[in-house]
Amino acid sequence: MIWSDFIQARWLDTVLLGNSVTTWLAALALALVAGLLLPLVQRLLTRRLSRLAERDDARVSRYVGAIAEGTRRGVLLLLALFIGARLLVLPAKIDTVLERLVAVALLLQVAWWAQRAFDVWFSGYLDRKRADDVAAAATVTLLGFMGRVALWSVALLMILDNLGFDITTLVASLGIGGIAVALALQNILGDLFASLSIALDKPFVIGDFIIVDDIPGTVQHIGLKTTRVRSLSGEQVVFANSDLLKSRIRNYKRMYERRVLFGFGVLYQTSPEELEAIAAMVREIVEAQSGARFDRAHFKGFGDSSLDFEVVYYVLDPDYGRYMDIQQAINLELVRRFAALGVGFAFPTRTLHIETLPPPTVAPNHA
């Protein structure tokens, strides 16, 4: 018994690679415990967040739970191995390699978490875009791809820097190359970023009736480089996105109501009583129209051949056809009322006054 205890004690004190067997066993036990606990904590946290995410208002829990699901098992096992190795006295080179390996794994894990967070947010945003504007969804998809490329580019540079590479020259080279590419493709890149601006800011969407400078039409397509508008005369007008954003755009689809100003003139033979009754008559006619709000009607002034009236009202619908229907109904009722009242609409007239000159006096002849 004493001999076996002595042999066991001697065996545990045996030194392997600078550490006793006891230390190696303790490091292994710590690594195993950490390897079991870390995945267990990750699963418990994910389940807890999944239960919280079932609530309607638990948006943060849904995000965090989806991000936690992106944790890589291999990274957890490598981290457990690193925790156990802290009990050992390792050669400097091996310890440095292990530290860098763990650092790279953690950087990759952070990048995976960041991509997972971006994907969760982006998928929800893209679903909303598909429901609102299908064409803009394609542009937003490109924006998502660019975001992922930027994320992994930064992660790659950090990994190379952690591995001991000098990334200063690489970053400078990428900067110079990026400037050269940007100068060569500045028109295309300008249109591309303009399309992203249109997709995010949404000054107009497909189906909107807009006027660009003096060209009216309906938006048919919003692409990465151009936007296509079907004009009122039937042809398709193609605008570069960058040029489009530099123009003044009037979006009639966003108009909540339409202000209408129109005028008419009556004959100078119209009596003052009839002129006074006309304003009240116009108010009555406009207020009788469904979807119209009367603003004012006034005897405006004296024209060359007419007594002029000015009327302002609002159509409570942006549809142009609805506006024309109301205006037509007002005009027809004005014609009927004026005919019944005996008031005539003025038309351009000119009055010529001809004066007869006396005949010339003939001088008497004294011859």
Residue spans of the domains in the chain: they are 9-131+143-159, 190-254, 258-341
State residue 185's pLDDT score. Answer: 52
Burial 68-106 (b: 16+ CB within 10 A, else e): beebeeebbbbbbbbbbbebbeeeeeeeeebeeebebbe
Give which of 311, 303, 310 is closest to 346, Cα–Cα: 303
Structure tokens belonging to residue 317: 């619908």
Q: Quick one: CATH architecture of 190-254? A: Roll (2.30)
Contact 119, 167 (CB under 8 A): no
Question: If 0-12 CB within 10 Å is exposed, 13-18 middle and 19+ buried, where does residue 2 land?
Answer: exposed
Report the first-to-last Cα separation within the chain, whole angstroms.
186
What is the fold of 258-341? Alpha-Beta Plaits (3.30.70)
Instruction: Return the pLDDT at 251.
Output: 86
Q: What is the pLDDT of residue 89?
A: 75
State the pLDDT at residue 6: 44
Q: Strand, helix or coil at 115?
A: helix
Residues of the chain predicted below pLDDT 50 = 1-4, 6-7
pLDDT of residue 52: 66
How would you class 53 by CB atoms within 10 Å of its CB: exposed for 0-12, middle for 13-18, buried for 19 or more?
A: middle
| pLDDT at site 367 | 52
Other Cβ atoms less than 10 A from the Cβ of 201: the count is 9
Q: Which residues partner with 307 through β-bridges?
A: 266, 302
Mind listing the pLDDT tens digit for each residue in 267-284? 998 999 999 999 999 999
